[in-house]
Structure 1
Amino acid sequence: MKVAVVGANGQIGKHLIDLLHDSKDFTPRAIVRNEEQLRSFQNEGIQSSLVDLEGTVEEIANGLDGTDAVVFTAGSGGHTGSDKTLLVDLDGAVKTMEAAKQAGIDRFIMVSALQAHNRENWNLSLKPYYAAKHFADKELERSGLNYTIIRPGGLLNETGTGKVFAAENLSRGSIPREDVAKAIYSSLTEEHTVNRGFDLISGNDPIEEAIKRI
């Protein structure tokens, strides 16, 4: 399976690219936003495409063309304003869905945020981000794509434990980015995760088992 990772230069994206690149079952394509990132992945022997999420749907579709699945893990970042959150985390995500359909790709995994589907549980200090995630997820549910929405808790740079809790609704918690990448990897071929969304935090269940029980 050829998997396009949108936001491949981000921390979750890099972990996921490594997992896919080391696998015999997957071929990753790094979707990145600048030439330096493109060259870095190409020097590692990883297929790459230069894509601006603020560009057109057609331009994004060209970058995805020839792949079988899309993982959207891009974000505007914590140091940008609400305008970039709107343009990347919401509109960029929706344009990527439209681009996937245009490119004939039907598998789409979205990295969202814990409890983004429940407004009453949003992190109020990140309200614009949560609003963007909420409505991007809603659009994905309506898109007709074979989607999975993964809603991780607070993201940590610690080494992954390989153990999580995964369920449709979980209370507050955190999780290493490495474990989020492993959960995405496990979800790619688990058919029962299709057209499902779930929260994900650190826990006691091995990742593959937790994903199988969603």
Structure 2
Amino acid sequence: MNILVIGASGRVGSELVQQLLDDNHSVTGTSRENNPLFDNDNYTHLAVDLTAEKEEIAKQIAGNFDAVYFTAGSGGKDVLGVDLHGAVKTMQAAQIKGISRYIMLSTVFSLDTTKWTLPGINQLKDYYIAKHYADHWLINNSTLDYTIVQAGALKEREATDKIAINADSAGENAIKDVAATLAAVLSADNTVHKVFSMQNGDTPIAEAVANIS
């Protein structure tokens, strides 16, 4: 498949691109700057400005794609302009280009505001508000075949290749496990129009994704 990864320079985005390349997909990655991130014949890089208008973003996303991933983030520097409005504009750009499959990396409990007082979450209120409304727009205002993957805290540690889906706690994730879960969702039709949270657990990733209903 020909895949677009918006936010390919990020911690999850870079791992996702590598996973997709390892799975023999053709991948176009984006970042703020036009600096190729991977030395691979199946990789193409684009500079995309998420603060541009949706029509300009659609022009910047050159090529025909089978699916789009959104893994970009502002790192807290511009959550309204990038994490919220930038995300929505990529959804609109995908619709302009006729791309139906859209996979969003979100954050655990983004849609459940009753959990926002939990430790670790209440310090990230602006980010959570941005992700909340971006996810709502994807579900309620777009025509895209979306999947929203809500990851818990991202940790720089070895992959376990095992996860838990929709646990009651926020949990933590090895970054490589989040990337592997995002990659597994691509060919899992049962995840279309689904939202699920993930954290490190006891179920192999492929099995956990296959059991989402």
Q: Distance in 2 between matches of 1:27 and 1:107?
A: 16
RMSD: 1.2
Percent identity of paired positions between Structure 1 and Structure 2: 40
Deviation at 1:138, TM superposition (A): 0.3
Q: Distance in 2 between matches of 1:22 and 1:172?
A: 30
Check conservation: 2:12, 2:178, Cα contact below 8 A.
yes
**Count of aligned pairs between the two proteins:** 205
Question: 1:171 — aligned with what?
Answer: 169
4+ long deviations beyond 3 Å: none
Structure 1's unaligned 5+ residue stretches are none
Could you state the TM-score of these two structures normalised by the residue count of structure 2? 0.93
SS of 2:183 mapped into structure 1: helix
Deviations 1:56-75 (A, max 9, x none): 21222123331111100000
- The structure that is helix-richer by fraction is 1
Question: 1:152 — aligned with what?
Answer: 151
Q: Distance in 2 between matches of 1:56 and 1:213?
A: 38
Please list, as runs of the form range in 1=range in 2, the aligned pairs for 1:17-96 lying within 5 A after superposition: 17-24=17-24, 26-35=25-34, 38-41=35-38, 43-45=39-41, 46-64=43-61, 65-78=63-76, 80=77, 84-96=78-90
Deviation at 1:207, TM superposition (A): 0.3
SS of 2:108 mapped into structure 1: coil
Q: Answer yes or no: is 1:104 the counterpart of 2:104.
A: no
Amino acid of the structure 1 residue aligned with 2:79: T
Could you state the TM-score of these two structures normalised by the residue count of structure 1? 0.92
Q: Answer yes or no: is 1:206 the counterpart of 2:204.
A: yes
Q: Distance in 2 between matches of 1:170 and 1:149?
A: 17
Q: Distance in 1 between matches of 2:37 and 2:176?
A: 20
Q: Distance in 2 between matches of 1:176 and 1:210?
A: 16
Amino acid of the structure 1 residue aligned with 2:165: A
Deviation at 1:86, TM superposition (A): 0.5
Aligned partner of 1:183 among 181, 186, 201: 181
Structure 2's unaligned 5+ residue stretches are none
Question: 1:138 — aligned with what?
Answer: 136
Deviations 1:120-168 (A, max 9, x none): 112110000000001000000021100000000001011111000012x
